[in-house]
Structure 1
Amino acid sequence: MTDAVDLIDIDSLLSPAEIALRASVRSFVDSTIRPNIAHWYEDAVFPLDIVPEMAKLGLLGMHLKGYGCAGRSAVDYGLAALELEAGDSGLRTFVSVQGSLAMSAIHKHGSEEQKNEWLPRLASGEAIGCFGLTEPTAGSDPAAMKTFARRDGSGPDADWIIDGSKRWIGLASVAQVAVIWAQTEDGVRGFVIPTGTPGFTATAIEPKLSMRASIQCDIELSGVRLPAGAALPGAKGLRGPFECLNEARYGIIWGAMGAARDSYQTALDYSKERLQFDKPLAGYQLTQEKLVNMALEISKGTLLALHLGRLKDAGRLSPQQISVGKLNNCREAIAICREARTILGGNGITLDYSPLRHANNLESVRTYEGTDEVHALILGQHITGIPAFR
């Protein structure tokens, strides 16, 4: 990074291998995503043809070990998420849904048969996965889910039959496998469902003002019949999906700073070139104050992400610390992107420049995997010892 972006020399805290990994992902973003993202966003297209390229870089399930996964560190994964989201939040979200949600659920909670069947295919990009937790009336309160799985018989080999609906499920209409969470008589369970199973229907949600180069769907489950072995044996209760959500939330901590950095860099470059009243915008005090405030928050947010990544690699990252990062970095990133747009003036509302696209995308990032309010309540309970969710 240049000194204009990395004010406090965060690069000095990274190893040569980490810097090399970051450079490879940044090169992919520069060559494949940046030249195309404006028209992908405008046309609401998710570019499936780049999935094999992501797989070759080891980005799919990159922090998981075995089964064809790259087995990289949490910091490596975070650096990759940052660079991908500097390109676009929707494309970083693909890596998150695939790796931190669908693959993570199978890796953490699946049987060996489930792992061997799906993880190598998902890591190679041969298959795409999705993760169905949120419902039309159960977003921040997944315990209120109505999707229900019942046994068709009394023996341990009895089939499962699932009925219900899910909403805002990334990639569902292009996925080959879905991890679906449902209530059962024994509490919440997860199920691995090939999307070609009769009764499973995924429909893309359109139109959208955010995450346009990504896919979010409604899922209907109508009498979906599954064998007994479709249930994730290691996941019982809401702890199962929450462990996966924490993996995705961790990636967001880094990714949001990528969107912020790209918006800041765009505004900085523009301000040096755009002349008003016979001098560059960068030469005015008000513009410099905006740029300084953006650079400070990016430095702090990236340092926070790195610290949390080191804790994760050491096995010491707690859920409330993830909430600190997700709440702070999403909140600051969206403010940075909006402020960057002001420096661009009227030109900033076009797709020639990235800040408003990033800001619009971050409206989704700020909402999914826990809203600001949910993370504030998680931290409020941690600080006071008093739960205030209800």
Structure 2
Amino acid sequence: MTLVLLVILAIVVVFCVRDIRVKLITKPLFNYFKTSLPELSQTEREAMEAGSIWWDGALFSGKPNWRKWLSNDKPKLSDEEQAFIDNELHTLLKMLDEEKISEAQDLPEEVWQFLKEKGFFAFIIPKAFGGREFSAQANSTIVAKIASRSLSTAVTVMVPNSLGPAELLLHYGTNDQQNTWLPKLASGEALPCFALTSPEAGSDAGSIQDFAIVCEREFEGEKQIGLAVTWQKRYITLAPVADVLGLAFKVYDPDQLLSNKVELGITCALIPTTHEGVKTGDRHNPLGQAFMNGTTSGEDVFIPMAWVIGEQAGIGKGWRMLVSCLSAGRGISLPALSAGTAQLSARTTSAYAGVRRQFGVPISAFEGVQSALARIYGYSYLIEAVRQTTALAIDLKQSPSVVTAIAKYHLTEHARVALNDAMDIHGGKAIQMGEMNYLAHNYMGMPISITVEGANILTRSLMIFGQGATRCHPFILKEMSIVQQEDQLIALKEFDEVLCKHLQHTSVNGLKAFFNGFTLARFERAPVSGDVATYYRRLTWLSQALSVYSDIAMLKLGGSLKRREMLSAKLGDVLSFLYIASCVLKKYEDDGRQQGDLPLVKFALDHCLNEASKAIYAFCDNFTAAPLAFLLKRLAFPVGKWLKAPSDKLAVQVCSNVSDHNSTRERISHLCAVVKHSAIDTVEHAYLLEKAHAPLMAKYRKWCKQNSVKLVGKTLNEKLSIAMDDNVIDDKSSETIFCIETLVAKAVAVDAKAPN
């Protein structure tokens, strides 16, 4: 007992007596930080400083304020935005036929004209310049609906409203540049593209080889200082048809005409595609999709300084511009494509599985099919929750780079799973190309969403935790800044103050994580009562665990953590699923706690919690040797891993609720465009009609089974006539059954064409 007291006393003295603490703890850690942390490059520093910290910071702290989270506005559309969706968008959807667009490898001319005239390329442009000035919520909703009807058209609309000339001009353009270009972009007179990717630089966009030399040449009759630009770009959407080219390149000033520096950094400019030396027009073929995507190049093309975004003041500011504006693509456009695809899968597969019969019953009755259906439904709810909430963040004038990276990666991956499940359930119908196949073009185009705006593999392994660990952590960024100060005495003093807070923060979170893991988080506070209160408690516990494991990883690995990409990815998964689960809970509250949605909510949350805990276990297993890994797991899981994936019973309940509650089905598929006389309309109409007359159809099919021998070789009309003769049905019922059977036959049919 005396020994224990002495040990406790020694610890208290070490931590409470400043001189002893500085000598034994602070100074060694200060030196360790100084030597282990890598020197940040300018591009890394700018990427790190870009954007803002939002809910990701709260999750990383181990102290998420759930009441504050739920108090954020509900996602909503203005009356003007809703009117646009009900009118202009409704008209556009009727004009689209993805099969014909695919065959022509282009949008019809009338569609191009309609998009320009009705402002589909002007969602982000202010009304003062002739734009729509829509919210991120509206932008996302419109793109998602189009994606469910025509992926090629969705991409065409998405790009001008994402990272590109308009976005960059709004934030960094001069008044003259805005007044010159924004009205043309808004009216469709000038169609934009933005060229960043080059053969040498894909995800590593900072290493682009395209360059410009500062020089003096004659332009429009007078000598002026400008840039001689040489570039070769690929994968540029809209490049083959663009009127104005947004271009990123590195600027060099060998004659020091602008400053005493030679390397001036990445710069962005706007160049008319008709300008001498600009080459566009060549097309790629992105997995057979019809949207315009191609190359652009130029050699020693002189442009005046007025064409640089921000003019001369914009030289070298390009990388900051790009990383600051990337949230549009990651937080709006790609989640929208994912939501459109997932909800297309949910709407059509629920209908198809309800009308497609095997062994005398709908295939939706088979548990194997229900397992996949539950994933489609649960993921559709999850994706919609994250889509709405992330767009809300952007509308709240946040620019959360970590959150948008999470949304980009996980929504595209979850949509891919949902679409694969939909393809599996549709079976042969999904692999026969033609107008009756409403899944194929989205299926073929799915890898494009995975690849663009930062390839998913690198987004997960480098960006989410790589930025989150430093951006979201309450102390790490401060400590990194302090150790790089020149005055070491002042730095050591400041470091000691921050370190004390850091150690207290980690210790408290560690104790809480252990206690909550031991008690299954039963004693944590929740902002609500009822069915989902437990999930808030468990998320708080996992937030504490993430905080502790992150500190352990950074303490041991220091700057090498960013090179341990597999470990970084696993901790990133924990942060990601905490954010996704937060969005699911917010949507459930925002929607008024719809009881029909509760199984979906539980399915999505069980999935998130299980994936987060699996990621922690995988991190521990790969972080250190087996005996230590076992102890490391017990820090937050003292009684073992008790969080489980969604149960089979819950999966069956999800399917039952979606089938029984049309309002629930509508909420997970409201973005799916059901255009009259389309293949989607056919399967939808067949499903709803059969569901409305289920007792009649059950009676008729039972009679057919009992009289199977007598009905061999009979047509549908002949069967119905015999049924009426047997007094099984009357004339009206006969007409209803004929309509349903005809529709079902059309719904499950596939395209077949004569040779040639």
Give me the TM-score of the superposition, normalised by structure 1.
Answer: 0.89
**Equivalences for residues 215-226 of structure 1 within 5 A:** 215-226=292-303
Letter matched to residue 337 of structure 2: G
Indicate the residue corresponding to 1:197 in structure 2: 275
In structure 2, do the counterparts of structure 1 residues 79 and 208 end up closer, same or farther at CA, with 3 Å as the change threshold? Answer: closer
More helix by share: 2
* Cα distance in 1 between the residues matched to 2:109 and 2:282: 15
Contact 1:263 1:358 in 2 (8 A): no
* Cα distance in 1 between the residues matched to 2:153 and 2:386: 23
The structural deviation recorded for 1:383 is: 4.1
- Matching residue within 314, 325, 330 for 1:244: 325
- Structure 1's unaligned 5+ residue stretches are 1-11
The answer to whether residue 101 in structure 2 is matched with residue 40 in structure 1 is: yes
**Equivalences for residues 68-83 of structure 1 within 5 A:** 68-83=130-145
Indicate the residue corresponding to 1:160 in structure 2: 227
The answer to whether residue 562 in structure 2 is matched with residue 388 in structure 1 is: yes
Which deviates more, 309-318 or 133-142? Answer: 309-318
The structural deviation recorded for 1:130 is: 0.5
The answer to whether residue 379 in structure 2 is matched with residue 297 in structure 1 is: yes
The answer to whether residue 255 in structure 2 is matched with residue 188 in structure 1 is: no
**Equivalences for residues 1-390 of structure 1 within 5 A:** 14-15=76-77, 17=79, 19-24=82-87, 27-33=90-96, 36-65=97-126, 66-100=128-162, 101-153=164-216, 157-185=224-252, 186-210=264-288, 212-233=289-310, 235=314, 236-250=317-331, 251-349=333-431, 350-351=433-434, 352-376=436-460, 377-385=462-470, 388=562
Letter matched to residue 388 of structure 2: L
Higher relative contact order structure (alpha carbons within 8 Å, sequence separation ≥ 6): 1
Q: Structure 1 segments of 4 or more deviating over 6 A?
A: none
**CA-atom RMSD in angstroms:** 2.4
Percent identical among aligned pairs is 21
* Cα distance in 2 between the residues matched to 1:300 and 1:249: 17
Contact 1:170 1:216 in 2 (8 A): yes
Letter matched to residue 158 of structure 1: I
> How many pairs are equivalent?
376
CA deviations over 1:355-384 (Å, ceiling 9, x no partner)? 232122121111111111232121121343
Contact 1:89 1:362 in 2 (8 A): no
Indicate the residue corresponding to 1:5 in structure 2: none
* Cα distance in 2 between the residues matched to 1:164 and 1:247: 25
Which deviates more, 188-197 or 67-76? Answer: 67-76
- Structure 2's unaligned 5+ residue stretches are 1-73, 253-263, 471-558, 566-756
* Cα distance in 2 between the residues matched to 1:273 and 1:103: 47
Give me the TM-score of the superposition, normalised by structure 2.
Answer: 0.47
Letter matched to residue 74 of structure 1: A
Contact 1:51 1:125 in 2 (8 A): no
Letter matched to residue 381 of structure 1: G
Letter matched to residue 177 of structure 1: V
Contact 2:151 2:441 in 1 (8 A): no
Secondary structure, aligned partner of 1:202: strand
CA deviations over 1:282-328 (Å, ceiling 9, x no partner)? 23222222222111111111111111122211123410010111111
Flag the structure with larger Rg. 2
Letter matched to residue 290 of structure 2: A
CA deviations over 1:24-83 (Å, ceiling 9, x no partner)? 4652353012xx111212332234532332344433231332311111111111111211
* Cα distance in 1 between the residues matched to 2:135 and 2:342: 23
* Cα distance in 1 between the residues matched to 2:166 and 2:159: 8
In structure 2, do the counterparts of structure 1 residues 21 and 301 end up closer, same or farther at CA, with 3 Å as the change threshold? Answer: farther
Letter matched to residue 78 of structure 1: S
More strand by share: 1
* Cα distance in 2 between the residues matched to 1:262 and 1:43: 23
